[in-house]
Amino acid sequence: MIDKILILDFGSQYTQLIARRVREAHVYSEIKPWNAAETDLLDTETRGVILSGGPLSVVAPDAPKIPAAILQSNLPILGICYGMQALTVQLGGEVAPAQEREYGLATIQALVPNPLLPEGELTVWMSHGDRIKRQPAGWQVLARSANSPIAAIGNLEQRRYGLQFHPEVRHTPQGALILQRFVIDICGCKGDWTPASIIAQSIASIQQQVGEAKVLSAVSGGVDSSVATALAQRALGEQVYSVFIDTGLLRKGERHQVETAFHPLLGERLMVVDASERFLSALQGVTDPETKRKIIGETFIREFEATARQIGQIDFLVQGTIYPDVVESQGIGASQAQRIKSHHNVGGLPSDLHFKLVEPLRLLFKDEVRAVGEALGLPHSLIWRQPFPGPGLAVRCLGEITHERLDTLREADAIFTQELEQAGLLQLQEDPSGKLQGTSQAFAVLLPIKTVGVMGDQRSYQEVVALRAVTTTDFMTADWARLPQEFLARVANRIVNEIPRVNRVVYDITSKPPATIEWE
């Protein structure tokens, strides 16, 4: 039985970060909306509850409430920002609008020795408009800031705490330590959420779901589908049939790379289907990204169905869906959560799906998936290859998709990747000072515009390539990679000199949020 921390989501943009930080302490975390049925909230594995922040004011008439089942339990509770204010109001304290709102970095002073906060001054990240005017009876003020006389509160006997600041963000340097103290020291979690335990739990879950049935596993060559397939094979053995579909939307040389990497692992149980013309035909004239994703999702399924008919009766399909896919496709947490984009294997699936989905990675972040892959013994080259979206180049070829535009994009992407590899920038590494160097994900994007240029003393009117490179560990948030100017100049020169249909290269310097990593 694995210990669990329940994270109750009140709509904060940082809720998924809370889950990520808890898992960094090797404790499993699960997010549920504040208005979930009370019978679905707590179970015997739950060791504590974290209440997230949120965009609303607790003094509003329709403000979300903490469920009674949470407050009436004997579990430790940590309220963050809105969660702290909701605790205060529902336990008899008082919250009022702050005279001076706090957004950004602030310094708090710890006032009372306690198991949660380090002693002395702490730099923290504030983001709130209300503040605590009076703490509930039996609660102590644990810290203050210049604009928040009550920056942290606690009832040490009941093991319940509230923080006005956000410990989950990197801008709070000791935030990870604070969350670790809560889940390990205060909640008593064993810290048993490890790759070995994830593998054991996943294998048991797959075996229980599938039984003796045959399974089709979708292999794309990316880390997610590779690890999902490896888990399914570990659980089911020869019940698993793997299929790789060449959509015509792959990177340069990708089909050969996938076959070379997977044949030693899968042998004759790897089936390669060339469906490139069928995919490109279905996408002809389509420019809307959501429509592209849904067409690709349905075409994938139809190809899987056709392959399944060749094998025999197959009821299950293994997919490499991971946590960020789910969050961006359908949202979790607050009921008002908006869909960012329909991932082809989540929001893009057809309504008449004939398979039952097996998704062993659905609750894992990317770095957790890689750790599981390494524990399964998959090749390093597979685990650490550049991530590639399921819809492939369709969501990097903005506008209309044609053979010619795809070829242009493939060449530009290959040049970028080659130069990154030669410069030692193709993977993310930490230098001695702790600064991240290199890239977590990098690729080229072909834009649906043309610009005027001068090439060989003649006017040109050609397409534009955008380069995108980010650094991230969880893929929920990301920063743009600070690649050297000399490097970018070399890549741009190669692209415009070697690809006749391109005369301009730009570099994307937007973080996530507000942007997503992919352009579509």
Per residue, the 3-state secondary structure of 236-288, as one string, reads HHHHEEEEEEECCCCCCCHHHHHHHHHHHHHHHHEEEEECHHHHHHHCCCCCC
- Nearest CA among 413, 382, 384 for reference residue 396: 413
Given the residues 168, 411, 518, 520, the one annotated as active site? 168
Return the bridge partners of 5, or none: 29, 48
397 is catalytic: no
**Phi, psi angles (nearest 5°) of residue 118:** -65, 155
Note whether 290 and 329 are within 8 A (CB). no
Given the residues 26, 102, 128, 166, the one annotated as active site? 166
- Nearest CA among 376, 369, 377, 281 for reference residue 325: 369
Note whether 151 and 131 are within 8 A (CB). no
Note whether 359 and 228 are within 8 A (CB). yes
Show contacts of 55-62: CB within 8 Å, 24+ apart: 55/11, 55/12, 55/82, 56/10, 56/11, 56/82, 57/97, 57/129, 57/130, 58/82, 58/85, 58/86, 58/88, 58/89, 58/95, 58/130, 59/89, 59/95, 59/96, 59/97, 59/130
- Nearest CA among 142, 152, 168 for reference residue 25: 168
Given the residues 26, 81, 328, 419, the one annotated as active site? 81
81 is catalytic: yes
Written as six digits, the tokens of 36 are 């979930």
Of the chain, the end-to-end C-alpha distance in Å amounts to 40
419 is catalytic: no
Pairing of strands 94-110, 77-80: unpaired
User: Active-site residues: which are they?
Assistant: 81, 166, 168
